[in-house]
Amino acid sequence: MTAVAQEVPSRGPAAAPAGSVRALLAALLGFTVITVDVSAVNIALPYLHRDLGGGMAGLQWVVDAYTLMFAALMLSAGAVTDRVGPVRAYALGVVLFTVASVACAAAPVMPALIAARVLQGAAAALVMPASLALVRVAYDDARARGQAIAVWTIGGSAAMALGPVAGGLLSEYAGWRWVFLVNVPVGILIVALLAGLRIRAVRRRAPLDLPGQALAVLALSALTYAVIEAGHTGWHPPALLAAAVAVSAAVAFVVVERRSAAPVLPLGLVGRGRVAVALVSGFGINFGFYGGIFLLGLYYQQVRGWSGAEAGLMFVIPAAMTTCANVVAPRLAYVVGRRPLIVGGQLILAVGMLALLPLTTTTPVWLVLVLLVPLATGGALAITLVTADLIDAVEPARVGVATGALSTFRQTGGAIAVAVFGGLGAGASGILTLPGMQASLLAGAGVLVLTALVATVRCRKPQALLEG
């Protein structure tokens, strides 16, 4: 598959309505598949373990190899999109993601699957900003563009919520490899939609901070390895060495970013009060939400002994609640304000993790669904407002950098949660246990209380004077 769409100079004629709809549909499909992939694979993990082995550590890496590359490379993906144009960047990302999906489905052993997931995550990091950029340039009218972006956003939220359902049904009735193979026809359809599409686009030679980007990948990967290894074998030399590499890479990253003329992550921007609140809150929300999905998928199948289809269907009602909370949050903010909901949403999510502590092997299904209400709604209430507050806190020219940083912090939160929860939750056999699950839930609630406290304190302080 090749990039077949054409980008014409911005002074050309406006895109026709039909072309705009095609661009929106193509962007929405790509955003949907990379988002579904984050959560659908969680439900397929027991099936992967049965066929490929690898233990709990291997399953954690199946999730985190994707999430880490997604998180780290998002820092540079916006600049790459600016340099090559949204259509070419999007087409390249979709093609790579499709090829990586085939490699995932064909993986004969766990290491091969993890390597393919690395490529998938790297491609997803490019698809994400390029899909939004494609929508932005496809609509000249501001009102129509706003409506299109709203459709794009809601579609992504629904995809994330419904991912476990799709993962469960596919794993049970078609096999876990189809969790990846379904991406192939979608990728082909996206390229077909892009074929012959002419939209207005302006390219600029956005600088790339390659040393900073490389150090970010090294620091996050080493940290995740250290946490996973320590969780299963203790703080032995491999885990300690990885932790030392993570710290060293993080220190070097700060030094490089302070000296860089075009840093991949402007430290002065991160230091601003409202920006810092958004980044910390985004980390905490994803830590709790994605960590919760990871635990629940294993609980339903490894503790309760349910099939993948049954486990997936358990996410239908929570998915609906998550989507509703996303829609209601902006309206509710007019009544109580953004800040109380940003802090309160994290605390509700923390309560949701504590509410799951009494779960046993015989807890009635109706009670499980009731206990899931705060977990399904807390983070969803907060994250929409976190994004809105971040955009309002920075000047227009830096919105792309700021939202890229938020995506990185959010995905990193999810990756670290999987690393921590997998280590705490697995028994000697590498299978989730109830005591391990309870320890993970307590850890998740603790992190959320801490991030909510940071958000409260930072909100009360005057805006930081750092303007890097």
Whether residue 242 is found in the same domain as residue 276: no
Confidence of residue 428 (pLDDT cuts 50, 70, 90): low
3-state DSSP assignment of residue 8: strand
Q: What mean pLDDT is predicted for residues 455-466?
A: 56
Whether residue 425 is found in the same domain as residue 396: yes
Among 72-86, 141-155, 225-239, whose mean pLDDT is lowest? 141-155
Among 58-62, 146-150, 187-191, 215-219, whose mean pLDDT is lowest? 146-150
Whether residue 270 is found in the same domain as residue 257: no
3-state DSSP assignment of residue 7: strand
Confidence of residue 4 (pLDDT cuts 50, 70, 90): very low
Q: Do the domain assignments include residue 443?
A: yes
Instruction: In whole angstroms, give the CA distance from residue 467 to residue 450.
Output: 26
Confidence of residue 427 (pLDDT cuts 50, 70, 90): low
Percentage of residues in the chain having pLDDT higher than 70 = 90
Whether residue 240 is found in the same domain as residue 294: no
Please give the pLDDT value at position 319. 84
* Domain containing residue 439: CATH number: 1.20.1250.20
Q: What mean pLDDT is predicted for residues 91-113?
A: 94
Whether residue 356 is found in the same domain as residue 368: yes
Whether residue 381 is found in the same domain as residue 341: yes
Question: How many C-beta neighbours within 10 Å does residue 351 have?
Answer: 16
Comparison of pLDDT for 410 and 15, the residue scoring more: 410
Whether residue 106 is found in the same domain as residue 160: yes
Whether residue 388 is found in the same domain as residue 361: yes
Using the predicted structure, report yes or no on whether residue 461 has a pLDDT greater than 70: no
Whether residue 274 is found in the same domain as residue 231: no
Tell me the per-residue pLDDT of 372-409, one tens digit each, with 9 for 90 and over.
999 989 988 888 788 778 877 777 666 667 777 888 88
Comparison of pLDDT for 427 and 293, the residue scoring more: 293
Confidence of residue 445 (pLDDT cuts 50, 70, 90): very high
Q: Which residues pair with 68 in a beta bridge?
A: none
What is the domain range of residue 298? 266-468
This model's pTM is above 0.75: yes
Comparison of pLDDT for 417 and 82, the residue scoring more: 417
**Please, what is the average pLDDT of the chain?**
83
Whether residue 257 is found in the same domain as residue 277: no
Using the predicted structure, report yes or no on whether residue 367 has a pLDDT greater than 60: yes
Tell me the per-residue pLDDT of 251-293, one tens digit each, with 9 for 90 and over.
998 898 888 877 877 777 777 778 888 899 999 999 999 899 8
Nearest partner of 94 among 133, 70, 126, 65, judged by Cα: 126
Q: Do the domain assignments include residue 387?
A: yes
Phi, psi of 107 (to 5 degrees): -60, 125
Confidence of residue 18 (pLDDT cuts 50, 70, 90): low
3-state helix, strand, coil in the chain (%, to 5): 80, 0, 20
Whether residue 328 is found in the same domain as residue 433: yes
Q: What is the DSSP string of 241-308?
A: HHHHHHHHHHHHHHHHHHH-SS-SS-HHHHTSHHHHHHHHHHHHHHHHHHHHHHHHHHIIIIIS---H
Using the predicted structure, report yes or no on whether residue 442 has a pLDDT greater than 50: yes
Among 94-103, 136-145, 286-295, 457-466, whose mean pLDDT is lowest? 457-466
Q: Do the domain assignments include residue 2?
A: no
Overall number of domains in the chain: 3
Query: Residue holding tokens 């940003």?
Result: 342
